[in-house]
Every structure is written in C-alpha cells, then in structure tokens.
C-alpha cells in the first residue's frame, strides 16, 4: 500500500508548485492530502510555543508575574513530553499512528483554547501542561509520517518542506499573535481551536502507516536499544538536543530582550522573529538538493558553527536594524539543521522501530527545551540577559567539537542514505 503511494504517478502539472521547488516530483492526490494533514498539524503544535513567546510580555502585568515566571508558560508546556515521548513512540509502532495523531490534536486544541478563559496564572500553567500532553503526542508523529510516506531524497525534501511550512507559520503567526495580544493576552489562545477540526479530518482521511508486527514488547525494546547505537542516530540525537536547547533559551527571552533593550512592542518582537523564519525558508527549500551533494553530518556541524556566530552577535547589535541580519543568519543555519537531523533519524531507523527512534529523539529534545527555558530562568537571577546569549554561543561552538568525532565515524554509514 505504501509503495504505491511512494511510486505512484499523477497527471503532470506544468504550473509552479512547491513540489517542483523542493524536488519532490509528482505526488499522488492521496499522498498530497495526507502530507497536508501532517504539515498542518506540525504548524499548529509548534505554534504552541512560537505564538505564545510573543504574548509573554503582554501577560506579565495582568497576571502579576515576573519576567522569570513568564518563562514557566513555555517550560510547563514542553515538560510532559519528557515522560510521554518514549510511550508515544512505542504506542505508534504497536497500535498505530492515526489514533494518536487525532487524539493529540483534539486535546491540544481543547486545552489551548481553554487557556483564554483561565481565571489566574495557576490555571494558565495547569492548562498549558494538558496542552503539552497533546503536543507530546502529535509532534513526533509529524516526522514519523513523512518518513513512512516517502523515502530516499524525496523524504529529505519532504522534511525540508515541513521546515519551510513551519517557518511560514513563524513569519505570519507570531506577528499576528503579537498584534492580537494588544487587545489582551487571552485572545491569541483562541486560535488553538483550529486543532479540533483538524483532528477530525485526520480520523477521516489519514491512512494508517505502521507495520503490523507480532514482536513482543521485550524484543521490541531490545531491538530499539541496538538500533540507537548507530553513530548516525547518535549524531542526530546530539544535534536535536543542542538545537532545541539553544532555540528555546533564545526565543523564549528574545522578545523580552528586544522590549527591554530596544523598546519593541509585542508586534515588533513578532516581526523580528519573522526574519529568522525567512532565513530558514531559504535553506530548507533546498534540503533535498544539499543532501544529494554533501554529507548530512558535515552540513549539520557547519550550520551549528553559523548558529554560534549569530548568537554571539545578538548582544552587540546596537539597534533593531542590525538584529535583522543576525536573525536571518540564525534562520539560515536552522533551515539546514532541522531537515538534515530529521532525515538522519528516519533514514537510519527501520520502519517497525521508527516511532520509537523518533520518540527517543523527542525525549532528548523535550529535555533540552525544558532545560533551556528553566536554565535561563535560573541564570537570569545572577547575570544580565546579554551575557546569556554569549554563553549560548560558546555552548554551540563547544558542542560542534564534541559532535565532530561522531560525524566522522558515521560518514562511512552514509552511503545510500
């Protein structure tokens, strides 16, 4: 069934399309519909952080919280995945992708919308935890399903298209959320209601892509433990941890830094974030072509060096205008790291173990996200915010040195990937 989707043909379309830009070729109608559901799900759950980050400055005075406490709105959202990510992976491999994706979307939408009616900060945090449970179910499956539905260079291009569409959401939604927040911090949370009808469409249209297996749970876990020792998977896990630690620390407090240092409003901070997304859109659109010409591990390491340079430059930017190229540079690096890291995971994981591998990766990433958000909360108590960006830059440079041996040892396993 899957092979028919992967190799099927449809009537040629000579018009400009995302498929041609991303080197996807012609895709059957049912595959396009399935991918549309995956990409829409990805954008929505990622906006569980990216949208809210722009709203944080508007929440501080009405809720009577500090800058450090505002970071908890992000941290409690990502924390549930630390426990749930491995369970989601096993469940998707053994019982199916579709019910988990649909159920996660429904929970995400209901809890996220309810935040708009929270009576106090305690309720905000509690509902964000529940919303994070839905997020934990959905986000690994958006990567797994692209790997299930496509293969080879098409799969890399499909992951690149996911990054591209996510970044389009970053261009449009954070500024929009910042603008809506001018009416009140509650209003942007109503947008999460869109996840409910999307979950119902998943039930109706998404095919089940898991491989039926009679493997015992014990054998499954032993096979998973063996597979994750693959050097290319270890490199992917390390890259995922570093990327999300840096991103969550950076983007949780960038709006506050921009407001305190440059006097930007929530709208201005959202627009500033959009330049990062634009940079990522440029490189992610060429992910498939880059993977065909260069080793993925080398590309990942080079992109982290660029990220470090961008982070180092942030506190030295004298004004908003000089922060724009810095964010574009950071986005260009992100547009390389994200699809390459996802493809390293999916193309080096057997189909029957893919959900487990991706969920282990999400586990490391959720630890990174939570550590990034909580870590900055603690560090803000003892140092100035500009110093934090410099520390993140040094961390990026040091991590590249630590990951380089993995990339070199894994390069030989890249043949045919």
Q: Are the C-beta atoms of 335 and 162 separated by less than 8 Å? A: no
- DSSP states along 91-160: HHHHH-SHHHHHHHHHHHHHHHHHGGG-SSHHHHHHHHHHHHHHHHHHHHHHHHHHHHH--HHHHHHHHH
Give the rounded distance of the alpha carbon of 257 from its chain centre: 22
5 domain-assigned = no
pLDDT per position as a tens digit, 129-148: 999 999 988 988 888 888 88
Does residue 378 or residue 130 have the better pLDDT? 130
| Mean pLDDT along residues 191-212 | 86
CB atoms within 10 A of CB 324: 17
Q: What is the pLDDT of residues 246-269, one digit of tens each?
A: 887 777 777 777 777 777 776 777
pLDDT on residue 213:
63
Classify residue 366: in a domain, yes or no: yes
pLDDT at 26: 74
pTM over 0.75: no
In whole angstroms, give the CA distance from residue 204 to residue 225: 35
Residue 17 placed within a domain: no
Are 207 and 1 in contact, with CB atoms under 8 Å apart? yes
Task: Break the chain down into helix, strand, coil percent, rounded to 5.
Answer: 85, 0, 15
pLDDT at site 266: 66
pLDDT, one tens digit per residue, over 287-300 is 877 877 778 888 88
Number of structural domains found in the chain: 1
Residue 214 resides in a domain? yes
Q: What angle do CA 78, 228, 353 make, to 5 degrees?
A: 80
SS3 25: coil
Count other Cβ atoms within 10 Å, centred on residue 405: 11
Task: Identify the weakest region by mean pLDDT among 81-85, 174-178, 211-215.
Answer: 211-215
- Position 347 scores a pLDDT of 78
Mean pLDDT is lowest, of 9-13, 111-115, 191-195, 393-397, for: 9-13
Mean pLDDT over each residue of the chain, to the nearest integer: 79
The answer to whether 167 touches 280, Cβ cutoff 8 Å, is yes
Domain CATH code at residue 290 = 1.20.1250.20
Q: 116-122 contacts: CB < 8 A, separation 24 or more?
A: 116/186, 116/187, 116/189, 116/190, 117/186, 118/186, 120/63, 121/63, 121/64, 121/65, 121/69
- C-beta of residue 337 within 8 angstroms of C-beta of residue 42: no
For residue 107, give its domain range.
28-414
Domain-embedded: residue 202: yes
Please state the rounded mean pLDDT for residues 328-333: 91
Residue-wise pLDDT tens digits, 153-189: 677 788 888 888 887 877 777 777 778 888 888 998 9
Structure tokens at 173: 């939604």
Distance CA 145, CA 346 (A): 10
**Residue 288 parent element (H or E):** helix 287-293
* Banded pLDDT at 315 (limits 50, 70, 90): confident
pLDDT above 50 for 206: yes
CB 72 within 8 A of CB 162: no
Answer for the pair 177, 55: CB distance below 8 angstroms, yes or no. yes
11 in any annotated domain:
no
In a domain, 237, yes or no: yes
Residue 12 covered by a domain: no
Residues 13-46 have pLDDT tens digits of 434 455 666 666 677 778 888 888 999 999 888 8
Q: Binning pLDDT at 50, 70 and 90, where does residue 2 land? A: very low
Q: Is the pLDDT at 281 greater than 80, yes or no? A: yes
């Amino acid at each position: 069934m899957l092979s028919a989707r992967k190799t099927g043909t449809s009537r040629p379309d000579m018009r400009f399309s995302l498929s041609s830009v991303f080197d996807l070729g012609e895709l059957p109608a049912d595959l396009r519909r399935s991918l549309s559901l995956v990409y829409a799900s990805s954008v929505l759950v990622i906006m569980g952080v990216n949208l809210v980050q722009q709203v944080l400055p508007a929440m501080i005075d009405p809720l009577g919280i500090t800058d450090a406490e505002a970071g908890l709105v992000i941290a409690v959202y990502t924390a549930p995945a630390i426990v749930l990510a491995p369970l989601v992976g096993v469940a998707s491999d053994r019982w199916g992708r579709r019910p988990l994706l649909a159920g996660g979307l429904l929970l995400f939408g209901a809890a996220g919308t309810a935040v708009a009616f929270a009576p106090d900060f305690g309720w905000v945090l509690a509902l964000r935890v529940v919303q994070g449970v839905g997020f934990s179910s959905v986000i690994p499956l958006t990567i797994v399903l692209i790997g299930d539905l496509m293969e080879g260079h098409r799969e890399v291009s499909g992951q690149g298209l996911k990054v591209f569409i996510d970044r389009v959401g970053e261009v449009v939604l954070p500024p929009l959320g910042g603008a809506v927040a001018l009416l009140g911090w509650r209003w942007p949370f109503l947008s999460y209601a869109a996840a409910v009808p999307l979950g119902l469409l998943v039930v109706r249209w998404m095919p089940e892509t898991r491989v039926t297996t009679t493997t015992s749970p014990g054998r499954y876990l032993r096979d998973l433990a063996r597979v994750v020792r693959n050097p290319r998977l270890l490199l992917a896990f390390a890259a995922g941890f570093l990327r999300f630690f840096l991103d969550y620390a950076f983007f949780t407090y960038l709006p506050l830094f921009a407001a305190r240092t440059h006097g930007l409003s929530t709208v201005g901070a959202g627009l500033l974030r959009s330049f990062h997304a634009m940079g990522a859109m440029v490189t992610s659109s060429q992910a498939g072509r880059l993977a065909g010409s260069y080793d993925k591990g080398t590309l990942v390491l080079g992109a982290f060096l660029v990220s470090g340079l961008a982070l180092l430059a942030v506190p030295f930017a004298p004004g908003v205008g000089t922060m724009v190229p810095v964010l574009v540079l950071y986005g260009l690096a992100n547009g390389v790291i994200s699809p390459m890291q996802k493809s390293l995971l999916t193309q080096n994981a057997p189909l029957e173990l893919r959900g487990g591998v991706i969920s282990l990766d999400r586990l490391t990433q959720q630890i990174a996200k939570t550590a990034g958000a909580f870590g900055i909360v603690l560090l803000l108590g003892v140092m100035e915010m500009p110093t934090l960006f410099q520390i993140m830059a040094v961390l990026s440079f040091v991590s590249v040195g630590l990951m380089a041996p993995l990339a070199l040892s894994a390069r030989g396993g890249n043949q045919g990937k």
